Structure 1
Amino acid sequence: MADVATFILEVAKILYGPLQRSVDYLVHYKKSVEKLQLKVKNLRLRRDVVQRLVNAAERNGEEINGVVQLWLQQVDDIKAITEGLEEGMKENKRCFKGWCPNFSSRYSLGREATKKMVDVDGLLASGDFAHVSTPRPCPSFNPTGEFEAFESTESAKKLVIKAIKEERLNIIGVYGMGGVGKTTLVEQVGKQAKDEKLCDEVVKVTVSQNQDLKRIQGELAEKLGLKFEENNEEVRADLLLKRLKQEKKVLIILDDLWDRLDLTKVGIPSGSTQKGCQIIMTTRRLDVCFMMNCQKNIEVQVLSEQDSWNLFKEKAEVVETDELQSLAREVAEECKGLPLAIVTVARALKGKDLSIWANALRELKQSSARNIEGVDKELYSRLELSYNYIGSEEAKLCFLFCCVFPEDHDIEVVVLMRYMTGERVFKDVNNFEEAWDRIHTLVEKLKDSCLLLDSDYVGCVKMHDVVRDVAILIASRKEHGFLVKVGLELTEWPENLDECKRLSLMGTSIGMLPEPPNCPRLSTLLLQQMNGWEEIPNNFIEGMKVLVVLDLSNTLISSLPPSPPYLKNLKTLCLDGCRRLDGISLLGGLEKLEVLSVRGTNIKELPIEIGQLSNLKVLDLTGSGDLTMVAPNVISRLTKLEELHMGDSFNKWEVRGSSGDGSKASFDEVASLARLTVLYIRIKDVNCLSLEVPGSWEKLKKFRICVWDEGYSTSDYDKCTSINIISYPLSKWVKLLLERSEEIELKSVSKSNIVHLLDDEGVSFNGWTSLAWRS
């Protein structure tokens, strides 16, 4: 009996705990739910705090820690569950027609509330984050120039590296004449400092003559992975300062200073706050080093006679046995040890016969001094010689057109081409495809001559600031007729424009446009980024009767004046980035217009009047995401169109007038354009894949066709087709483009559909370079 009693007692002990908890679930269910509600309220408050920190970090371009993202998701999940428990309390379920409480429901509520309190306590305990984010890693620092390890440059490089190792030196000045190779040298120093772990990050920004604080701040922020939403310079400076202090040791390269730069206004640590931040600055003037309180000043000197000859011989491909060797040595000596002059002259004369070398030497010896601030008087004549030996007049004019942009500007080759085609620079091209080939040939020729440089951005080139100074001086001659007043504090419209042919006032602060200026010979007018005025006087262009190129990009204009007879010769019109522009119907009268570029605008409609542009060859609506209406029978009337860029704008094409009321543009309008060679388009209706279209797209040289609702392909390939859900049977145009594509993107397409595509539809994939498939 004692054993039985002991057994019963032990069983009772085992069962007591669960039974007690079950009774508590049932009896105290309401109290448990209320207690849970209080804890969840505290959790919500904690979540709000964390979310505000996350939002601030995201605005600063920082990377949110994974544990924080997981915590927020878990909080959201438990909130949904507890809201369900609260609803259960409100229902107050009863059974037996309301005569008896629903014990099962109460038990479940009590048990679930008790369990969730444990989860909530855990989330409250783990939600006290010291940091919710980490700064995004800086983009890798890659020098763009070719560093030649000659005696002078190597000596200067070693001195700069030695100065970096001295932690007490916060600001290091590197100075020397224009074209001596300062930028290339400090870029190599930055790379070596990063490789040898002398610093954690290297950031380089070009300051230039026009100290645009917002641009400098923007470039620094981009390279630090920081995103600005603020436009106020002081706020941006504060954000930059905080971001830079997050790095243990950062090396900042400030390239091409012409005057003192206030580091505090930019957001760069200085003085007592500069710990962990070293600065290297380059300038052509030693006095700027003193203005910036540089603690160490290092001069980059010209090359020695032997180093000059070695560099010249390499670039001109002169061999020791050449009969022109003695002549070549004299030419090399005339370059006075300046690397930029040596390289440009050598490449200009490479492969030329003896008489041309002799003539070049005479020109170099007889050249007169020029007065360009910061440009050595000897350097001017060397660069002008390279210009003279470019060859064709087209190449020379292409070179001069590159100087109309600001210093250190990434020049879009497509924009350059549109200016030059508008001016009819290319005399023997028949279409824009041939113009593309010509401009790329000219750009490569100028790059080979070291008169243009590669850019970090695809489709762009840059111009060395010294080369640009010389180009502006050449371009200002009467026969070329350029007037370039870019990035200067210009507040009044320039006078004496009677002989001016090309006028560039980009980024100036002119507050009002004159009515009208007298510019009888003006053929190109560039007014980009001039934000001092918001409207164009109706008679502004009355005195510009031969104008063929007009660029008003990134201005504050909201509308255009009615197309007057004075613009009857206009060939190229650029309105890119004009965010306030409300419509373009007034352009219908520009019957000779060939290029209309409205990239990145907020226009909502392509009106019927655009169909009057019977000579239009390029229509560029890239990035106009608000475009939701294309009037019917507009696109089909542009029968001379060669390029249509609508990839990330309008996509609501009707298959073929299927709307019934004729209020929307149809896809077969695009297909009817027989001259198209470039087509970037997004299509929403997959049924277009089965539509047999009247036109033939065999002429397409570049295309990016996206058939899906959201997003747009950002492929680097010239020929890309992206499809979401294939509709069979495919039409001939789809098969043609699929077979000609270099990249295929298939989204939500099954494996069986891919097999069907290749086998049953007979699509050949021999030319495919890339296949991106996402099921």
Structure 2
Amino acid sequence: MVGLSDIPFVGKTIDRISDATVEAVFRKLKYMISYRALIGDLISEIEKVNTEEASVSAAADAARADGKIIYADLFKWQLEVAEIQASYNELVETYENRSSCLPIPNPVSRFRLGREAVVKARRVSELTALGKDLLAREIAFRPPYHDFESRKDPYDKLWEGLVNQESPLIHAIYGAPGVGITEMTRKIQQEVLKQNIFDKVAFAIVGRDRLDIINLQNQIADHLGCHFESRDDVGHRASQLSGCLLNSGRILVIFHDVWTRIQFDVIGIPWDDGSSSMGCKILLTSRNPSVCLLNNCRDPTQIRPLTMIEAWDLFKNTVGISDFGVYKNLAMKVCKKCEGHPLIISALGKALRCKPLDSWGDTLLQLDCGEIGFSLEMEPIIYSCFNLIIDELPDDAKSCLLLCSLFPDNAEIHIGKLIQLATASQLVLDGESRVCTMVDELSSSMLLDYTDFHEIKMHRPVRDWARSIAIKDPKYAFQFARCGPGLPDHCDYGTRKFLFIDMQIDDVYFPDDLVCPNLLNLWLQCNKHRQRFSSGFFSMFRNLRFLLIHEGMFSSLEPQFSLRHLGNLSTLILDCCDMTDIDQTHINFFPQSLQTLCIWNCDLPVPLDLPNLSYLRKLEIDSRCPVIIVPNFISRLSRLEVLHIRNGLQFQDGSPATAPSSFEISKLKYLKSLKMPFRVSDPVQDKNVLGDLDEFEICVGEPGEGTHYLLNSSVSVKRRIELYSNQLEAFTNLIERAEDVKLLCNDIDVSSIFSNNRQAFGDLRNLYNEECNTIDFQARISGDKIQHSHQCQRSFCKLTTIQIYGCSSMTYLFSNSIANCFMQLRELCIENCPKIEAIVRDEGTSDEGDIIFYRLKLLKLVGLPKLTNFHEHNDVQFHLLFDEKGNTCCRMKEFSC
């Protein structure tokens, strides 16, 4: 009998249908029977995609931090992963909460779970593979820099006015806060010098607080190299500055952030009437056009907010997303709220970088409903944006920001001062490293700007807003009181925790019956006005624990002036004060409870003496010259743990206090941190004096002509030593443990230290060597000790920077065994060493193969006429070094210089 399967073509079709039917049946049975195993497979795939998502996110965050924009396909991949993760969570919840009303398991429920697990596992596997593919190629691009078109006309107008000698003397820019006035001023300043329009540019920040003529004169003089003969005679200084300006060629004087009329002739500007300007110009910046007119600028230039197109481009670049997809309308609404202010766009964009786009609706709602700040000079929306930004900050970052707002307009704030202020006021409890981390956070959020020398600046709009937050937030409870004849009576002093008093005149009246029980921190801004504080003034602040007096003038005619009533005061900072009348007769000036005393840039009595402050743990004196002291000045403070005296000590007869001070330091058995130069090479008697220090910043010897002490170069380095002499006696232990070693004009052999202690230099990060002209190598292991070279692997393992300059006898730097320890080296600079033949030389017969520099990014070899090889016998590999064409320099053996 012939069946359908025997018919050609029909039979094959029936077989395929039968196979497919059987396969489908078994697959559905597998969904139901093996659903647990299928869900297990899904969990395994989810773990893989989670790992991949973490890697992709880390790469994306790093690219954004580098100022790049993420490609849209990566952004879409992240959205899909987020969706599949949410779907997986729902499936797992269903699986864990499954139940059945039947006495037997529910086959339909099992079937659905198994089928959904298979579908999701397949998609998750595809996403994992796609994530690996994304990481294998470029995930981001750097946006091209371009000037905003809306800035072109104002810039051209201003430029034409400055370069045209027939134009008026005074020009001005004005605009709302945050629109980019500072940025345009910087560009003008750079371009006029680059194109030789002016010989010099003098830049002075005016600010709103008060018109300080002496400060403005100092700022202008610094740019011109003018040194005043008088410190406080305004008229004499003006005459001297006028002569300097007339003799300095073509000068552009910029007055930034002007709020009132400036009397140029009082400052010493000789051409304010325009009669003899000789090609010189004055440029003002302000928020208010009327201020420009008040200062005789006939036609000020306005800087307007960005257009919507420009604002949108800046917003996308800042957030780091090129394609917002379905969230584009939402993102554009958020951008529109910034009203074209570049500062706000940048700050808000950086705050939103790490927030998922589906949460931006809440961001928009907060901007619509944000509270308005107290200042009428700033648009309410700017305060709403700032309020949203601060909500994204850690509490410690908020505290640092609010403390920065205490400083004057456009002040350059040294990070060390902020650290002391933050920790002493107990607004940041985790110490120095935490403050530094928070400053980095604020800088990346565009709320603070780094300047040179480890200083930071705060924009005026940010300062205004930060002060409003500090006042309104009960957690901080700040109060700013500007005093004329007396304290303003509208402030609630009784509930304040931090009070800032700005004294505008001499002899401000303070009521004796005022009581501030909650006040813990007080900043007295005296502005060089002499104050006759009544005997009961400080008794109003009995619970005060932190006091800062800035620009205070203490008179010998005030014997009643005393801080002894402040029984709980633990920290006192005297900043830019005249202390010349405070001597040993004022025994009650300092309270006995003091634990920290900081004296910054003050005029000191000669000699300086302190009472026996038995609780004092930290003494810091940052002065312009050595501190003249009496004998036993240090040893009397027996509980000291921290001693920082930047320019060292000197006895009244003029002799440096090196040996005696080291003798006194030896009595400070609790000392853990020392920052001080030792100017002479007298041997320190006790070689164990400095051995127990946890932190140190020490100079030994006198810098040569044209050099200077390099102290305070970084707050991140805790152990630093500079040697200008051959004195090693008590300092060898410090050199071995230092993170930063600078050898200048001496004959110290680092290798001899290493030979005596193979664990030395385990924490060394930076090595600087200049004009050490008798040593022929930096460090090596001799041939008879090659077999033990594995013991030195910890030495030099953290070294990141090597700088060698002008060492006339050096023939090579390191032996190959030492060079193999440089796992972290990032920068190697060698200049003007005429005898160097190789950077690395073999010692003994051991062949250790190629030397690999895994992290070296900068290699600078200049003025090395005899250099022929980097390594004598082997190749050297560089994993991250690039040549001028952008190609990787993988290997190097021969080298010419």
Q: What's the CA shift for 1:149?
A: 0.9
Q: Using the alignment, how far apart are the partners of 2:402 and 2:304 within structure 1?
A: 29
Q: What's the CA shift for 1:673?
A: 4.0
Contact residue 175 and residue 300 of structure 1 kept, 8 A: yes
Q: Using the alignment, how far apart are the partners of 2:505 and 2:743 within structure 1?
A: 46
Residues 134-191 of structure 1 show CA distances to partners (whole Å, capped at 9, x for unaligned) of xxxxxxxxxxxx9961111233212211222332222222121111111211221222
Q: Relative to structure 1, is the Cα distance of residues 634 and 653 closer, same or farther in structure 2, using a 3 angstrom cutoff?
A: farther
Q: Using the alignment, how far apart are the partners of 2:235 and 2:251 within structure 1?
A: 22
Residue 382 of structure 1: aligned partner: 385
Q: Using the alignment, how far apart are the partners of 1:195 and 1:712 within structure 2?
A: 29
Residue 440 of structure 2: aligned partner: 444
> Is 1:331 aligned with 2:334?
yes
Q: TM-score, normalised on structure 1?
A: 0.70
Residue 351 of structure 2: aligned partner: 348
> Is 1:704 aligned with 2:707?
no
Q: Using the alignment, how far apart are the partners of 2:219 and 2:634 within structure 1?
A: 44
Secondary structure, counterpart of 2:275 in structure 1: helix
Q: Using the alignment, how far apart are the partners of 1:608 and 1:203 within structure 2?
A: 41
Mapping 1:47-66, distance limit 5 Å: none
Mapping 1:685-724, distance limit 5 Å: 686-688=682-684, 691-693=686-688, 696-697=691-692, 699-700=694-695, 702-707=696-701, 713-715=709-711, 716=713, 718=717, 719-723=719-723
Residue 741 of structure 2: aligned partner: 743
Mapping 1:616-695, distance limit 5 Å: 616-620=617-621, 622-623=623-624, 625-631=626-632, 634=635, 637-638=638-639, 641-645=641-645, 647-650=647-650, 667=663, 669-670=665-666, 672-674=668-670, 676-682=672-678, 684=680, 686-688=682-684, 691-693=686-688
Residue 457 of structure 2: aligned partner: 462
Between the two structures, name the one with larger relative contact order (CA 8 Å, sep ≥ 6): 1
Secondary structure, counterpart of 1:527 in structure 2: strand
> Is 1:277 aligned with 2:273?
no
Residues 55-83 of structure 1 show CA distances to partners (whole Å, capped at 9, x for unaligned) of xxxxxxxxxxxxxxxxxxxxxxxxxxxxx
Residue 503 of structure 1: aligned partner: 499
Secondary structure, counterpart of 2:351 in structure 1: helix
> Is 1:579 aligned with 2:579?
yes
Residues 193-251 of structure 1 show CA distances to partners (whole Å, capped at 9, x for unaligned) of 22222222222222222222221122111111111123332332222222222243222
Q: Relative to structure 1, is the Cα distance of residues 222 and 762 closer, same or farther in structure 2, using a 3 angstrom cutoff?
A: same
Q: Using the alignment, how far apart are the partners of 1:635 and 1:373 within structure 2?
A: 54
> Is 1:475 aligned with 2:473?
no
Residues 713-742 of structure 1 show CA distances to partners (whole Å, capped at 9, x for unaligned) of 2343655434565457x35x5343266262
> Is 1:550 aligned with 2:547?
yes
Contact residue 720 and residue 742 of structure 1 kept, 8 A: yes
Letter of the 1:192 partner, please give it.
E
Q: Using the alignment, how far apart are the partners of 1:513 and 1:331 within structure 2?
A: 49
Contact residue 250 and residue 278 of structure 1 kept, 8 A: yes
The sequence identity of aligned pairs, in percent, is 21
Letter of the 1:469 partner, please give it.
D
Q: Using the alignment, how far apart are the partners of 1:328 and 1:557 within structure 2?
A: 57
Residue 92 of structure 1: aligned partner: none
Q: Using the alignment, how far apart are the partners of 2:369 and 2:688 within structure 1?
A: 66
Q: Using the alignment, how far apart are the partners of 2:736 and 2:503 within structure 1?
A: 44
Q: What's the CA shift for 1:305?
A: 0.8
Q: TM-score, normalised on structure 2?
A: 0.61
Mapping 1:216-615, distance limit 5 Å: 216-230=216-230, 231-268=232-269, 269-270=271-272, 271-321=274-324, 324-354=327-357, 356-367=359-370, 369-370=372-373, 372-390=375-393, 392-427=394-429, 429=430, 435-456=431-452, 458-477=453-472, 479=474, 480-485=476-481, 490-495=484-489, 496=491, 497-506=493-502, 508-512=504-508, 514=510, 516=512, 517-533=514-530, 535-558=532-555, 566-577=565-576, 578-580=578-580, 581-583=582-584, 585-586=587-588, 589-591=591-593, 593-597=595-599, 600-604=602-606, 609-613=611-615
Residues 419-464 of structure 1 show CA distances to partners (whole Å, capped at 9, x for unaligned) of 222222234x3xxxxx1101111111111111112234x2321111
Secondary structure, counterpart of 2:495 in structure 1: coil
Secondary structure, counterpart of 2:409 in structure 1: coil
Secondary structure, counterpart of 1:272 in structure 2: coil
Letter of the 2:320 partner, please give it.
E
Structure 2 stretches of 5 or more lacking a match?
1-143, 774-897
> Is 1:770 aligned with 2:768?
yes
Q: What's the CA shift for 1:304?
A: 0.9
Q: Using the alignment, how far apart are the partners of 2:199 and 2:267 within structure 1?
A: 21
Q: Relative to structure 1, is the Cα distance of residues 342 and 285 closer, same or farther in structure 2, using a 3 angstrom cutoff?
A: same
Contact residue 583 and residue 609 of structure 2 kept, 8 A: no
Secondary structure, counterpart of 1:287 in structure 2: helix
Residue 158 of structure 1: aligned partner: 156
Letter of the 2:348 partner, please give it.
V
Q: Using the alignment, how far apart are the partners of 1:670 and 1:647 within structure 2?
A: 20
Q: Which has the higher helix share?
A: 1
Residues 657-709 of structure 1 show CA distances to partners (whole Å, capped at 9, x for unaligned) of xxxxxxx6653634754551443242646220x63326633522x41232469
Mapping 1:141-156, distance limit 5 Å: 149-156=147-154
Q: What's the CA shift for 1:370?
A: 4.5
Secondary structure, counterpart of 2:162 in structure 1: helix
Letter of the 1:499 partner, please give it.
T
Q: Relative to structure 1, is the Cα distance of residues 623 and 240 closer, same or farther in structure 2, using a 3 angstrom cutoff?
A: closer
Residues 461-499 of structure 1 show CA distances to partners (whole Å, capped at 9, x for unaligned) of 11111211112222222613222246xx73423334222
Contact residue 254 and residue 281 of structure 1 kept, 8 A: yes
Residue 133 of structure 1: aligned partner: none
Q: Relative to structure 1, is the Cα distance of residues 448 and 635 closer, same or farther in structure 2, using a 3 angstrom cutoff?
A: farther
Residues 298-323 of structure 1 show CA distances to partners (whole Å, capped at 9, x for unaligned) of 21111111110110111111230455
Contact residue 491 and residue 509 of structure 1 kept, 8 A: yes
Contact residue 304 and residue 337 of structure 1 kept, 8 A: yes
Contact residue 598 and residue 620 of structure 2 kept, 8 A: yes
> Is 1:206 aligned with 2:200?
no
Q: Relative to structure 1, is the Cα distance of residues 698 and 755 closer, same or farther in structure 2, using a 3 angstrom cutoff?
A: closer
Letter of the 2:378 partner, please give it.
V
Q: What's the CA shift for 1:746?
A: 4.9
Q: Relative to structure 1, is the Cα distance of residues 201 and 562 closer, same or farther in structure 2, using a 3 angstrom cutoff?
A: closer
Q: Using the alignment, how far apart are the partners of 2:401 and 2:225 within structure 1?
A: 34
Q: What's the CA shift for 1:623?
A: 4.6
Q: Relative to structure 1, is the Cα distance of residues 156 and 224 closer, same or farther in structure 2, using a 3 angstrom cutoff?
A: same
RMSD: 3.5
Q: Relative to structure 1, is the Cα distance of residues 380 and 359 closer, same or farther in structure 2, using a 3 angstrom cutoff?
A: same
Secondary structure, counterpart of 1:238 in structure 2: helix
Q: What's the CA shift for 1:279?
A: 1.9
Q: Using the alignment, how far apart are the partners of 1:249 and 1:608 within structure 2?
A: 51
Q: Using the alignment, how far apart are the partners of 2:537 and 2:472 within structure 1?
A: 26
Q: What's the CA shift for 1:761?
A: 6.5
Contact residue 324 and residue 331 of structure 2 kept, 8 A: no
Q: Relative to structure 1, is the Cα distance of residues 378 and 746 closer, same or farther in structure 2, using a 3 angstrom cutoff?
A: closer
Q: Using the alignment, how far apart are the partners of 1:309 and 1:399 within structure 2?
A: 28
Q: Relative to structure 1, is the Cα distance of residues 566 and 339 closer, same or farther in structure 2, using a 3 angstrom cutoff?
A: same
Letter of the 2:572 partner, please give it.
L
Letter of the 1:531 partner, please give it.
K
Q: Relative to structure 1, is the Cα distance of residues 595 and 357 closer, same or farther in structure 2, using a 3 angstrom cutoff?
A: farther
Q: Relative to structure 1, is the Cα distance of residues 558 and 267 closer, same or farther in structure 2, using a 3 angstrom cutoff?
A: closer
Residue 55 of structure 1: aligned partner: none
Q: Relative to structure 1, is the Cα distance of residues 148 and 573 closer, same or farther in structure 2, using a 3 angstrom cutoff?
A: farther
Q: Using the alignment, how far apart are the partners of 1:562 and 1:255 within structure 2?
A: 39
